[in-house]
């Protein structure tokens, strides 16, 4: 069926601009224009992607005036601007989100339908920009949404990876990684700004000289130069005119490359160099909470940080500002230590390029940066071997040394003769191979430090940053994470959104606290019925998806027990797996066992080099193969591993869950944000006292949360006294039976080797105390099953979970950052009369 572009002529009342008008006719004409003039296609030969692109341009056209006005107003009003610096942005698809935030969904749906196409098909066509690994990158995306919605002047700076996080396929039960070619069919949301490109230098050596006034200066003779080209994407706020910019940098060969090739006659050599330059932003490192000390990774970090700081300095100078006031105009939030080399880079720019005195430069630098820590895991704390750091960034290593010398001088004064304190605080780790500690650089070079949940911040103060907390009392503060209710409720759960609109209106979209009004309805049986209806419909939709894509029949009436997140030992997907095996063993022992029917849903990617995580996936898929096909099990248990967990796929999983698995070892998950998304859609949590679970439980009430497991202090204590996992195995018959069944080869076609690495690790070391928490977890799951049988009460608890999620809006989090850290004010953007061409 060829789509029809002739819309009815019924309601033309005035002549609208083709690119901004909102009447049905204008939208249809704009859509057709973009198909023809931008995609270069007729309806007859257009692909679904051509239509998607044409529609995306039609929406972008209607967003541009807001975007450009935002930029112009920020310049004109000379406001203070937040620069969010993050190596990752896990944005998710733009189209549906932009329609929601701009309030265009209805009109656009009608326009698309008038052509005979389906809006949902076009929305599904978009490849999501997966420029992040997980929670940290997704948090940056939620914060960009809130910054715009709150009309706070902001720029997001990051890296335009050509290949984002890999696509995951499951073959023969194992994860297979497929490169993510998200740019292959074009990206209609970005605009390249080659005229604002900057140069970044790497390698080489430094040389001391004295300038004409005899002042000591350092000249950096770089080994190579790379060009950074900015690609800008508008981030529109919800129903406001603000659209802030996400500016992502792409690495290219510098302009003079062609000349060099011409002069030396080494054309092929020059092209090779060009390719090497572009390598820097080729691919996202796919490790979540596990650092890979690769030179290219440091090059990526330095590259985007240098581009961004040069960009900020240029804008400030262009606007007539002096660098003396740089920190008044800009504040830069470091999203973990990935951009922490910015501290040394701003010092270099101020001292070497703009000839500031060290002390003055240091004062500006320290007043510019604020640092968010996201993890307590030792393997995720970034440190760079001195040799590598110095080879890539010789001048920055000198600057780090100088910062450290001056810093340690101050520390010495405070802790007279206490070498232990000095070694703990130093920016250089001197035990064994020497390293630059990026967290220390970030702490010393910033005016504020924050953790991402109350417990995490406390543990930071006690543990990882204990000495800094003593040295700088009050500098470490808490900013509990939040998620945007636009994407994570309105967009991903339209059925619940409709019910909420009817019941409590739509204020909650910008004031999530308003969900509290739902509490008035918990005792209304009719409302509870409708609440269940929504959940049931979401579960049916997921069941249909699983049927179609994985060929597994799941029962929408069973309890949907969902654990979706990166696969990591500390997140303990294997604890969940052990519970499933224990239920299965029970059925095999007593085929009539009275078990509340459950569907266990898993999803998540493993870092490609993370051996254990990949085995955990294989364990889950192997259990699924046996359990799903055993006639003894009947309808009681199903296990589903949904491949390729990303933002798009997560949006159909959160809304369908009854039970949210947040079972990390206490003290290991800094916050979690998936936990918030589940509860927002009415799932109950089974969880440990870890990260934001603690605060979620506080908000929803202990009676509406399934708590289990050791607490963080208990974990610490047990480890200190010498944890012996095998004792738990020996003394707990259910645990023994469960582990023995896996070890016997039952789930691996008789192969007793397959899971040895996993089981050995559990029995010998069990670094994340899976066996210690097993029984408590099984018991909590029994409470879950019992509670689920009391349908009315379960519904009450479900409603109360959503109703009490107000605190976990990213709007609340961003308001706190703005008030306590950044000291920035909103600036409402006017739309009228500000675009004037060719006066
Ligand atoms: O608990 C989550 C937290 O919710 C934490 O593990 C995650 O950040 C989320 C947002 O605050 C996180 N990711 C990383 N560190 N913490 C990380 C580390 C290295 C590379 C990529 C991601
Ligand atoms: N990955 C994606 C795609 C997400 O949507 C989320 C949710 O916040 C995460 C990772 C983080 O999940 P969790 O907080 O459960 O680790």
Output phi, psi for 735, to 5 deg. -65, -40
Tokens of 736: 């023994």
Burial 260-297 (b: 16+ CB within 10 A, else e): ebeeeeeeeebeebeeebbebbebbbbbbbbbeeeeeb
Residue 8 has pLDDT above 90, yes or no: no
677 is catalytic: yes
Decide the pairing of beta strands 598-603 and 559-564. parallel
Pairing between β-strand 243-252 and β-strand 428-429 as defined by DSSP bridges: unpaired
Mean pLDDT of 166-174: 98
Q: Does residue 691's CB lie within 6 angstroms of at least one atom of ligand 2?
A: no
* DSSP bridge partners of 334: 85, 371
Q: Kindly list the distances between the CA atom of residue 382 and the CA atoms of 277, 428, 508, in Å, as whole numbers in the listed order.
A: 24, 12, 39
Element (DSSP H or E) covering residue 707: strand 706-707
Residue pair 600/639 in contact (Cβ under 8 Å)? The answer is yes
pLDDT classification of 274: cutoffs 50, 70, 90: confident
Comparing 147-151, 274-278, 516-520, 558-562, the range with the smallest average pLDDT is 274-278
Q: Which atom of ligand 2 is nearest to the CA of 673?
A: 14
Q: How many CA atoms lie within 13 A of 305 on its CB side?
A: 30
Shortest CA distance to 619 belongs to which of 775, 736, 732, 743? 743
Which of 501, 526, 553, 805 is CA-nearest to residue 654? 805
Q: Which of 414, 476, 412, 481 is nearest to 450 (CA)?
A: 476
* Residue 115: per-residue pLDDT: 97
Catalytic, out of 138, 461, 566, 618 = 566
As a whole number of angstroms, the distance between CA 127 and CA 184 comes to: 9
Tell me the pLDDT band of 770, cut-offs 50, 70 and 90: very high
**Number of C-alpha atoms within 13 angstroms, CB side, residue 66?**
27
Pocket of ligand 1 from Cβ distances under 6 Å: 133, 135-136, 139, 287-289, 336, 374-375, 380, 452, 481, 669-673, 691
Interval 731-752 mean pLDDT:
98
Ligand 2 near 247 CB (within 6 A): no
Q: What is the pTM of this model?
A: 0.97
Q: Which has the closest alpha carbon to 499: 803, 265, 762?
A: 803
Helix 394-414 vs helix 358-368: angle between axes, to the nearest 10 degrees? Answer: 90
> Which one of 130, 131, 134 would you pick to mutate in the ligand 2 pocket, going by the greatest count of ligand atoms within 8 A of its CB?
134
Dist. CA 651–CA 632, nearest whole Å: 33
681 closest CA partner among 538, 780, 481: 538
pLDDT exceeds cutoff 50 at 661: yes
565 is catalytic: yes
Q: Look at ligand 2, atom 9, and give the residue with the nearest C-alpha.
A: 135
The predicted pLDDT at position 9 comes to: 46
Give the Cα separation of 568 and 549 in Å (integer). 25
Task: Answer yes or no: 618 catalytic.
Answer: no
Residue nearest to atom 8 of ligand 1 (CA): 136
For residues 35-42, average pLDDT: 98
CA proximity to 748, closest of 573, 613, 616, 623? 623
More confident residue, 259 or 535: 535
Find the mean pLDDT for residues 89-100.
98
Ordered alpha helix ranges (H), 566-665: 573-589, 611-628, 647-653
706 alpha-carbon distance from chain centroid: 26
Q: What is the pLDDT of residues 171-182, one digit of tens each?
A: 999 999 999 999
Sorting pLDDT into bands at 50, 70 and 90, what band is 838? Answer: low
Residue 10 has pLDDT above 90, yes or no: no
Q: Ligand 1, atom 18: nearest CA belongs to which residue?
A: 289
Residue with structure tokens 């500390």? Answer: 570
| 301 CB-near residues (< 8 Å, 6+ apart) | 87, 338, 339, 341
| 138/806 Cα distance (integer angstroms) | 19
Nearest bound ligand to CA 675? 2
The pLDDT assigned to 273 comes to: 80
Judge whether residue 91 has pLDDT over 50: yes
Q: Give the number of other Cβ atoms within 10 Å of residue 325's Cβ.
A: 11
Nearest 5°: phi and psi at 205?
-145, 170
Q: Which of 814, 835, 811 is nearest to 66 (CA)?
A: 835
CA distance 559 to 597: 6
Q: Is there an atom of ligand 2 within 6 Å of 133 CB? A: no
In the chain, domain spans: 1-78+97-127+824-839, 80-92+128-481, 485-808
Q: Name residue 449's beta-bridge partners.
A: 371, 476
> What is the distance between the alpha carbons of residues 443 and 828, in angstroms, rounded to a whole number?
33
Q: Kind of pairing, strands 684-687 and 659-662?
A: parallel
pLDDT over threshold 60, residue 839: no
- From the list 338, 571, 572, 579, the catalytic residue is 571
User: What is the pairing mode between strands 383-385 and 435-437?
Assistant: antiparallel
Query: In the chain, what is the greatest distance between 2 CA atoms, to the nearest angstrom?
Result: 92
Mean residue pLDDT of the chain comes to 96
Which of 60, 74, 668, 677 does the annotation list as catalytic? 677
Neighbours of 13 (CB within 10 A): 6
From ligand 2's centre to the CA of 473, what distance in Å? Answer: 32
* CB 481 less than 6 A from any atom of ligand 2: no
* Ligand nearest to C-alpha 377: 1
| Pair of tokens at residue 352 | 């070497």
User: Does the annotation mark 668 as catalytic?
Assistant: no
Do the first three CATH levels of 80-92+128-481 and 485-808 match, i.e. the same topology?
yes
Residue 645 CA to ligand 2 center (angstroms) comes to 9
The 3-state secondary structure of 750-793, one letter per residue: CCCCCCHHHHHHHHHCCCCCHHHHHHHHHHHHHHHHHHHHCHHH
Is pLDDT at 252 greater than 70 in this prediction?
yes
Dihedral of the alpha carbons of 5, 9, 14, 15, in degrees to the nearest 10: 30
**Does ligand 2 come within 6 angstroms of the Cβ of 565?**
yes
Give the tens place of pLDDT for each residue, 189-203: 999 999 999 999 999
Active site residue 697: no
> Class of the 80-92+128-481 domain?
alpha beta
Strand 330-335 and strand 369-372: the pairing is: parallel
Q: 461 catalytic, yes or no? A: no
> For residue 382, which atom of ligand 1 is closest to its CA?
19
Say yes or no to pLDDT of 571 above 70.
Answer: yes
DSSP 150: T
Domain boundaries 485-808, corresponding CATH code: 3.40.50.2000
Ligand nearest to the CA of 168: 2
Check pLDDT > 70 for residue 803. yes
């Amino acid at each position: 069926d060829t789509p029809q572009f002739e819309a009815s002529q019924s309601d033309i009342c005035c002549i609208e601009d083709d690119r901004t008008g909102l009447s049905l006719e204008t939208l249809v004409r704009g859509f057709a224009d973009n198909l023809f003039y931008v995609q270069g296609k007729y309806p007859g030969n257009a692909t679904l992607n051509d239509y998607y692109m044409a529609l995306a341009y039609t929406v972008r056209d209607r967003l541009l005036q807001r975007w450009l006005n935002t930029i112009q107003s920020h310049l004109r009003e000379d406001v203070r601007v937040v620069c969010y610096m993050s190596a990752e942005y896990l944005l998710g698809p733009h189209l549906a989100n932009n329609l929601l935030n701009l309030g265009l969904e209805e009109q656009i749906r009608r326009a698309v339908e008038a052509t005979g196409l389906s809006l949902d098909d076009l929305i599904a066509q978009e490849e999501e920009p997966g420029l992040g690994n997980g929670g940290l990158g997704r948090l940056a995306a939620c914060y960009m949404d809130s910054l715009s919605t709150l009309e706070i002047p902001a720029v997001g700076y990051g890296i335009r990876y050509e290949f984002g996080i890999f696509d995951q396929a499951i073959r023969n039960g194992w994860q297979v990684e497929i490169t993510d070619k998200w740019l292959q069919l074009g990206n209609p949301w970005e605009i390249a700004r080659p005229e604002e490109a900057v140069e970044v230098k790497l390698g080489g050596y430094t040389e001391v000289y004295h300038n004409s006034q005899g002042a000591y200066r350092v000249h950096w003779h770089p080994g190579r130069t790379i060009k950074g080209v900015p690609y800008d994407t508008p981030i529109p706020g919800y129903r406001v005119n603000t659209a802030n910019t996400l500016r992502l940098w792409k690495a290219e060969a510098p302009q003079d490359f062609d000349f060099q090739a011409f002069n030396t006659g080494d054309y092929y050599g020059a092209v090779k160099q060009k390719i090497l330059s572009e390598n820097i932003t080729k691919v996202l490192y796919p490790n979540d909470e596990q650092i890979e000390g690769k030179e290219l990774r440091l090059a990526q970090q330095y590259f985007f940080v240098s581009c961004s700081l040069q960009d900020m300095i240029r804008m400030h100078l262009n606007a007539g500002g002096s660098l003396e006031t740089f920190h008044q105009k800009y504040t830069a939030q470091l999203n973990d230590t990935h951009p922490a080399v910015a501290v040394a880079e701003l010092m270099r720019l101020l001292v070497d390029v703009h000839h500031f005195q060290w002390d003055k430069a240091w004062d500006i630098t320290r007043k510019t940066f604020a640092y968010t820590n996201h993890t307590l895991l030792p393997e995720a704390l970034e440190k760079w071997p001195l040799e590598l750091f110095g080879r890539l960034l010789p001048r920055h290593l000198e600057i780090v040394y100088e910062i450290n010398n001056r810093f340690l001088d101050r520390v010495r004064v405070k802790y007279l003769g206490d070498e232990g304190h000095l070694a703990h605080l130093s920016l250089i780790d001197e035990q064994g191979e020497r390293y630059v500690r990026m967290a220390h650089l970030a702490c010393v070079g910033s005016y504020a430090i924050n953790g991402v949940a109350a417990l995490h911040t406390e543990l930071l103060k006690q543990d990882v940053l204990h000495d800094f907390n003593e040295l700088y009392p009050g500098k470490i503060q808490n900013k509990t994470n939040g998620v945007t209710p636009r994407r994570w409720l309105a967009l991903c759960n339209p059925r619940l959104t409709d019910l909420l609109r009817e019941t409590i209106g739509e204020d909650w979209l910008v004031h999530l606290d308003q969900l509290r009004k739902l509490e008035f309805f918990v005792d209304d049986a009719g409302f509870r019925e409708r609440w269940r209806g929504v959940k049931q419909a979401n579960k049916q939709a997921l069941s249909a998806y699983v049927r179609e894509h994985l060929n597994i029949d799941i029962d929408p009436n069973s309890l949907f027990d969902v654990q979706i997140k990166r696969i990591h030992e500390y997140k303990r997907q294997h604890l969940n797996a052990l519970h499933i095996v224990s239920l299965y063993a029970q059925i095999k022992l007593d085929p009539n066992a009275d078990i509340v029917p459950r569907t266990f849903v898993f999803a998540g990617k493993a870092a490609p080099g993370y051996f254990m995580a990949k085995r955990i996936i294989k364990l889950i898929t192997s259990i699924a193969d046996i359990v799903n096909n055993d006639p003894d099990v009947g309808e009681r248990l199903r296990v589903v591993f949904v491949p390729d967990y990303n933002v798009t796929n997560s949006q159909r999983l959160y809304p369908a869950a009854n039970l949210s698995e947040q079972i990390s070892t206490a003290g290991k998950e800094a916050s979690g944000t998936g936990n918030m998304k589940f509860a927002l859609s009415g799932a109950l949590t089974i969880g440990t006292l870890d990260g934001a679970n603690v605060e979620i439980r506080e908000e929803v009430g202990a009676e509406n949360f399934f708590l289990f497991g050791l607490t963080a202090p208990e974990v610490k204590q047990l480890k200190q006294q010498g944890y012996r996992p095998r004792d738990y195995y020996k003394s707990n018959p259910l645990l023994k039976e469960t582990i023995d069944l896996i070890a016997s080869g039952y789930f691996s076609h008789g192969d007793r080797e397959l899971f040895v690495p996993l089981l050995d690790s559990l029995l010998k070391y069990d670094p994340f105390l899976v066996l210690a928490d097993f029984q408590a977890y099984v018991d909590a799951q029994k409470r879950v099953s019992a509670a689920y049988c009391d349908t009315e009460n379960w519904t009450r608890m479900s409603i109360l979970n959503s109703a009490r999620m107000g605190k976990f809006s990213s709007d609340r989090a961003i308001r706190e950052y703005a008030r306590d850290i950044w000291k920035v004010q909103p600036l409402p953007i006017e739309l009228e009369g500000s675009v004037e061409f060719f006066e």
